[in-house]
Chain A
Amino acid sequence: GAGVSQSPSNKVTEKGKDVELRCDPISGHTALYWYRQRLGQGLEFLIYFQGNSAPDKSGLPSDRFSAERTGESVSTLTIQRTQQEDSAVYLCASSVDLGGRTPLQFFGPGTRLTVL
């Protein structure tokens, strides 16, 4: 599998439950990004991991959202006490460092989260 993979592809949960979404980046990609896409909208940046640097968490909408990444591999996005407004497609992307030029981001298929 050469591309970014995400699991699960679909997740239906009840309001108030916690959910965990997983992203497997392209092997060798040092950077990993999470975005949220609400229905009919563009992508909204959530968080960015680059190597061993501190992650850029500036896009996380509330403290119910958190993400972790182990080294340069898998990342998990956790949403605690889910709310109906959290319903969206959560997209992960990864990229290589292009030495000063903005990196090309390759996206996974997303996880469609529905909060009832």
Chain B
Amino acid sequence: QKEVEQDPGPLSVPEGAIVSLNCTYSNSAFQYFMWYRQYSRKGPELLMYTYSSGNKEDGRFTAQVDKSSKYISLFIRDSQPSDSATYLCAMSVGAGGTSYGKLTFGQGTILTVHP
């Protein structure tokens, strides 16, 4: 079993739709949770960064973390064709933990937003 499982998709939605992307994990030591966006043939770009449980909003993007369920989500409101990319969740342990700073990634979800 992988430490981080991500809904593989692919997802295809119309412009303006609300998109929900999800990951589950098994390592209870994970404390930092990130979402990266990766365009084709580019490196991942950090979108959202959260610590522990709760919600964080940035424009059209909302990240949710539920540590009790070991479940994280990224919501995209009013999706745009420019949001079409692969979305990767990533996690790491806190300071003092082994492999501090190392990220463990989900396998990515390909999202297509069509006009």
Chains A and B bind each other: yes
Residue of B nearest to A59 (CB): B102
Q: Which residues of A contact B41 (CB under 8 A)?
A: 109, 112
Q: Report yes or no: A104 in contact with B49, Cβ–Cβ below 8 A.
A: yes
Selecting from B53-61, B62-70, B104-112, the interface stretch reads B104-112
Whether A28 is near chain B, meaning CB under 8 Å from some CB there, is no
Beyond A101-B95, A104-B49, is A45–B102 a contact (Cβ under 8 Å)? yes
Question: A102 contacts which of B44, B92, B107 (Cβ < 8 Å)?
Answer: B92
Q: How far is the CA of A6 from the CA of B42 in the complex (A)?
A: 12
Which residues of chain B in 52-92 are interfacial with respect to chain A, using CB atoms and an 8 Å cutoff? 88, 90, 92
Q: How far is the CA of A41 from the CA of B105 in the complex (A)?
A: 9
Q: Which residues of A contact B4 (CB under 8 A)?
A: 42
- Closest chain-B Cβ to A44's Cβ sits at a distance in Å of 8
Whether B13 is near chain A, meaning CB under 8 Å from some CB there, is no
Residue of A nearest to B23 (CB): A42
Q: Which residues of B contact A109 (CB under 8 A)?
A: 41-43
Interface residues of B (CB under 8 A from A): 4, 6, 31-32, 36, 41-46, 49, 51, 88, 90, 92-95, 99-108
- A102-B32, A108-B43, A110-B43 provided; 6 other pairs, C-beta below 8 A? A4-B43, A42-B88, A42-B105, A109-B42, A109-B43, A110-B42
